[in-house]
């Protein structure tokens, strides 16, 4: 845990480092003192742990300050971005409002121009009607005067008296009652009684309040919809389930485990002697944390004893003495099935639970020389870890196979760029 925390701290992954330091402090300050064997633990070990706890407190405080500074900067940037978005939205709304008003003013101007033009046309039409009426009256009066003159002349001839043309006067025609004149207003054939109008009044002009019912088409103005802003697109948060803050794309946030492609071959070479005897061989997978991924760098074969279907490591303190000075992290285990296919038996699943409970990314590699198979497995997060963790049976026993308790390790990647180092402690 401390190794991983230091690697995260060196790589600048302060969030993951802070989580691990906090877990370490909680483990040794709150949990271990309650263990029944804690009081009988060697004093030298207790003192060493206390020193690590003190150092962890100091490291955690430094990281906390850096995280606070980082989060403050992120929040400031977020607020600035939010302010920019709001200002941009306000600017677009103002532009849209100005555009809408401009369209309304243009439409109003068009309406006024059309109304003025219509009124001018109606005024011109009425003036033309008036002129025509005056001309018609003049012609009628002239015709009546001419008829009267002819009648007078005829009367003079019949009476024997010569007509009186000395003063060159023509008697005026008697006033006629021109009761009806055509009115072409609006294309109507309605007749207007001139005598019914008050004296001295001009031509009838349509009321301005009727303008909306005449030739002007008041269509509704159209404005574009306001732009919409999606507020749901915020930066995604890290998934901390079974993780220390990794941004891995794995379903459960597991970090990748990098496996050198030559690992199975070198392991089978070391296991060949036991394989020929139909005896299982096991090894420990160890490595380092690099850029938020675990890289298997070492294959350690401890002292062990095995049968055709079991393998047990012995003198496990030798493993610790080998890994500690090299800062190696246990990343899983590997073993052979000399006469069976590659799978995890009930005993294998219980062994795998111990590794995976300590490190969720831990894997189990099973090599089957007889069937030329190699499987890379993990207990399923949703069911395997739960059922095996609660099982108290020992040895080989039955478990429900549907749904399966183990699965292919989707977070394990085999690469050719890494090479494995083999340490045979047998």
Rg (CA), the chain: 53
Residues 367 and 271 in one domain: yes
E strands, 232-324, in order: 257-260, 282-290, 293-301, 304-306, 311-313
Of the candidate ranges 19-23, 40-44, 62-66, 266-270, the one whose mean pLDDT is the lowest: 40-44
pTM of the model: 0.57
Give the three-state DSSP class for 76. Answer: helix
Backbone angles phi, psi at 410, to 5 degrees: -70, -20
Residues 214 and 311 in one domain: no
Q: Do the domain assignments include residue 84?
A: yes
Q: Do the domain assignments include residue 242?
A: no
State mean pLDDT over 168-179: 44
Residues 72 and 172 in one domain: yes
Give yes or no for residue 287 having a pLDDT over 70: yes
Tens of pLDDT, residues 133-167? 898 888 888 888 888 888 887 776 555 544 444 44
Residues 215 and 252 in one domain: no
Residues 208 and 357 in one domain: no
CATH of the domain at 105: 1.20.58.80
Say what percent of the chain tops pLDDT 90: 56
Residues 211 and 251 in one domain: no
d(CA 3, CA 89): 49
Classify burial at 342, counting beta carbons within 10 Å of its beta carbon; exposed 0-12, middle 13-18, buried 19 or more: middle
- Number of domains present in the structure of the chain: 2
More confident residue, 164 or 50: 50
Least Cα distance to 409 among 285, 297, 251 occurs for 251
More confident residue, 244 or 324: 324
Residues 204 and 259 in one domain: no
Q: Do the domain assignments include residue 235?
A: no
Task: Sort strands 304-306 and 412-415 into parallel, antiparallel or unpaired.
Answer: unpaired
Residues 214 and 323 in one domain: no
Q: pLDDT-derived band of residue 295, with 50, 70 and 90 as boundaries?
A: very high
Of the candidate ranges 98-102, 109-113, 210-214, 246-250, the one whose mean pLDDT is the lowest: 210-214
Q: pLDDT-derived band of residue 277, with 50, 70 and 90 as boundaries?
A: very high
User: Final residue of a domain: which of 222, 255, 284?
Assistant: 222
More confident residue, 188 or 330: 330
pLDDT of residue 157: 53
Q: Do the domain assignments include residue 230?
A: no
Residues 278 and 414 in one domain: yes
d(CA 377, CA 388): 15
Say what percent of the chain tops pLDDT 70: 77
Tens of pLDDT, residues 353-394? 999 999 999 999 999 999 999 999 999 998 999 999 999 988
Cα dihedral 290/292/297/300 (nearest 10): 130
Q: Do the domain assignments include residue 391?
A: yes
The structure tokens 């420990």 sit at 284
More confident residue, 257 or 179: 257
Residues 214 and 254 in one domain: no
CATH of the domain at 309: 3.40.140.10
Residues 136 and 265 in one domain: no
**Cβ partners under 8 Å of residue 228, min gap 6:** none
pLDDT of residue 243: 47
Query: What mean pLDDT value characterizes the chain?
Result: 81
Residues 99 and 182 in one domain: yes
Residue 287 sits in which domain range?
247-426
pLDDT of residue 46: 86
Q: Do the domain assignments include residue 169?
A: yes
Tens of pLDDT, residues 216-267? 344 444 444 444 434 344 333 333 334 454 555 566 789 999 999 999 999 9
pLDDT of residue 107: 92
Task: Sort strands 406-408 and 373-379 into parallel, antiparallel or unpaired.
Answer: antiparallel
Q: Do the domain assignments include residue 39?
A: yes
Q: pLDDT-derived band of residue 183, with 50, 70 and 90 as boundaries?
A: very low
Q: Do the domain assignments include residue 324?
A: yes
pLDDT of residue 186: 44
């Amino acid at each position: 845990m401390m190794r991983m925390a230091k690697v995260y701290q060196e790589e600048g992954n302060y969030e993951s480092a802070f989580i691990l330091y906090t877990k370490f402090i909680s483990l040794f300050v709150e949990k271990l003192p309650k263990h029944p064997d804690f009081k009988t633990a060697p004093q030298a070990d207790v003192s060493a742990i206390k020193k690590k706890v003190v150092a962890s407190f100091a490291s955690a405080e430094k990281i906390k300050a850096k995280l606070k500074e980082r989060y403050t900067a992120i929040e400031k940037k977020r607020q600035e971005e939010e302010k920019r978005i709001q200002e941009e939205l306000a600017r677009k709304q103002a532009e849209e409002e100005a555009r809408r008003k401009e369209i309304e003013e243009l439409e109003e101007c068009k309406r006024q121009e059309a109304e003025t033009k219509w009124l001018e046309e109606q005024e011109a039409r009425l003036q033309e009607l008036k002129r025509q009426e005056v001309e018609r009256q003049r012609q009628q009066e002239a015709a009546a005067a001419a008829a009267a003159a002819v009648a007078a002349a005829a009367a003079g001839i019949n009476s024997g008296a010569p007509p009186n043309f000395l003063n060159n006067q023509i008697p005026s025609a008697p006033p006629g009652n021109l009761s009806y004149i055509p009115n072409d207003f609006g294309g109507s054939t309605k007749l207007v009684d001139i005598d019914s109008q008050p004296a001295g009044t001009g031509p009838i002009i349509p009321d301005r309040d009727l303008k909306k019912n005449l030739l002007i088409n008041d269509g509704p103005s159209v404005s574009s919809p306001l732009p919409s802003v999606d507020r749901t697109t915020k930066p995604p948060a890290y998934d901390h389930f079974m993780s220390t803050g990794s941004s891995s794309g794995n379903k459960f946030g597991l970090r990748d485990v990098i496996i050198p492609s030559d690992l199975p071959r070198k392991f089978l070479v070391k296991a060949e002697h036991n394989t020929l005897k139909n005896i299982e061989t096991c090894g420990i997978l160890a490595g380092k944390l690099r850029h938020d991924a675990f890289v298997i760098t070492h294959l350690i074969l401890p002292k062990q004893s095995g049968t055709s279907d079991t393998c047990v490591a012995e003198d496990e303190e030798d493993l610790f003495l080998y890994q500690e000075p090299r800062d190696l992290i246990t990343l899983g285990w590997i073993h052979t099935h000399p006469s069976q296919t590659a799978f995890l038996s009930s005993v294998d699943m219980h062994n795998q639970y111990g590794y995976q409970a300590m490190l969720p990314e831990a894997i189990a590699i099973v090599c089957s020389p007889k069937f030329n198979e190699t499987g890379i497995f993990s207990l399923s997060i949703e069911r395997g870890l739960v059922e095996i963790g609660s099982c108290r049976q020992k040895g080989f026993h039955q478990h429900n196979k549907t749904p399966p308790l183990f699965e292919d390790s989707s977070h394990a990647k085999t690469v050719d760029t890494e090479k494995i180092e083999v340490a045979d402690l047998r």
